[in-house]
Amino acid sequence: MRLDAPAFVAIIGHNGAGKTTLFRVLTGQLPYQGRIELAGQDVLRLPRRVADGLLAHLPQRNAVAFPIEVRELVVMGRFRHRRGLLAGYSPADYALADDALAQVGATHLAHRDFPQLSGGEQQLVWLAQLLLQDAALWLLDEPTQQLDVYYRRRVFRLLETWVQTRQKTVLCITHDLDQLPNLPGFLLNLSAPQPQLEPLSEATVAAAREWLEDEASLMRH
Ligand SMILES: Nc1ncnc2c1ncn2[C@@H]1O[C@H](COP(=O)(O)OP(=O)(O)OP(=O)(O)O)[C@@H](O)[C@H]1O
């Protein structure tokens, strides 16, 4: 399977189909058989691929146990641009953080204490932080899971924009099939007998939905 950048890929499949496992492999958290290349290089030769900013990963759950202002958490997306370990962030970094919060529609949360936010509000903040990382490949594990209908639509539209204008490649695990038909990109159904990249369209999403809703597909899985 080969994917040319930039691109948007919606990764779907039943619970337990292996979607998160795929991300664990791509981020180097699990051993695997076969060969995976990123920008033409075997990922095994890129052991620090997350730390080095080649890819950015937004896991399904990302708990923060200490009090921290939202703006301070978002600006940490610039960690690779700091001049030294103990150096703080510059006014330009904070301006980028403010812009990222505005893009996801979360300006009003900037000065709130992050752990006190609702699950959906926290998801928006993580997306803003991701925006500040310069990785070309983003792995998003159910980024809209806790969002209301307005923010769901908004985030999928933003992902589309970020692919088109910032040349990002986004692999997005989702159960949110309703948002997919009108997005340019690909569908990867990991519950299919032979998963492959299919162009996103009304027809491919409807066929995948029919397959996933059919009990027979669950038995095979
Ligand atoms: N550390 C582990 N050890 C053993 N089995 C595991 C481990 N992690 C995941 N699995 C199993 O691998 C399978 C795939 O899990 P994975 O988390 O990738 O599913 P998923 O497609 O992301 O599901 P969901 O939609 O529920 O998030 C599951 O059956 C799970 O129980």
The mean pLDDT of 48-61, rounded to a whole number, is 84
Q: How far is the CA of 14 from the centre of ligand 1 (A)?
A: 11
Tell me the best of 14, 15, 21 to mutate to test the pocket of ligand 1, counting ligand atoms within 8 Å of each CB and taking the most: 21
pTM, two decimals, is 0.92
The mean pLDDT of 191-200, rounded to a whole number, is 95
Atom 27 in ligand 1: which residue has the minimum CA distance? 15
Q: Is omega for the bond preceding 143 within 30 degrees of 0, making it cis?
A: no
> What atom in ligand 1 is closest to the CA of residue 190?
21
Q: How far is the CA of 196 from the centre of ligand 1 (A)?
A: 20
Which residues sit with their C-beta closer than 6 Å to ligand 1? 13, 15-21
pLDDT in tens, 4-44: 989 999 999 999 999 999 999 998 899 999 999 988 888 88
Atom 7 in ligand 1: which residue has the minimum CA distance? 21
Atom 4 in ligand 1: which residue has the minimum CA distance? 21
How many Cβ atoms from other residues are within 10 Å of residue 37's Cβ? 12
Is the distance from CB of 17 to CB of 191 less than 8 angstroms?
A: yes
Residue written as tokens 């970020």?
A: 162
Q: How far is CA 157 from CA 21, 78, 179, 182, 197, in A?
A: 26, 24, 9, 10, 21
Q: How far is the CA of 170 from the centre of ligand 1 (A)?
A: 21
ipTM: 0.93
Is the distance from CB of 14 to CB of 221 less than 8 angstroms?
A: yes
23-184 is classed in which CATH architecture? Answer: 3-Layer(aba) Sandwich (3.40)
Q: How far is the CA of 19 from the centre of ligand 1 (A)?
A: 8
Domain ranges of the chain: 23-184, 185-221
Identity of the amino acid at 132:
L
Helix (H) or strand (E) holding 92: helix 91-103
Separation of alpha carbons 187 and 196, rounded Å: 8
Residues 6+ apart with CB under 8 A from 148: 120
Which pairing describes strands 37-38 and 41-42: parallel, antiparallel, or unpaired? Answer: antiparallel
DSSP 176: -
Separation of alpha carbons 13 and 190, rounded Å: 5
Helix (H) or strand (E) holding 9: strand 8-12
How many Cβ atoms from other residues are within 10 Å of residue 39's Cβ? 13
> What atom in ligand 1 is closest to the CA of residue 14?
25
Separation of alpha carbons 10 and 176, rounded Å: 9
- List alpha helices for 3-68, DSSP H: 19-26
* Model confidence at 160: pLDDT above 80: yes
pLDDT in tens, 88-141: 899 999 999 999 999 999 999 999 999 999 999 999 999 999 999 889 999 999
Atom 6 in ligand 1: which residue has the minimum CA distance? 21
96 CB-contact burial (10 Å; exposed 0-12 / middle 13-18 / buried 19+): buried
Residues 6+ apart with CB under 8 A from 115: 64, 65, 66, 67, 68
Atom 17 in ligand 1: which residue has the minimum CA distance? 20
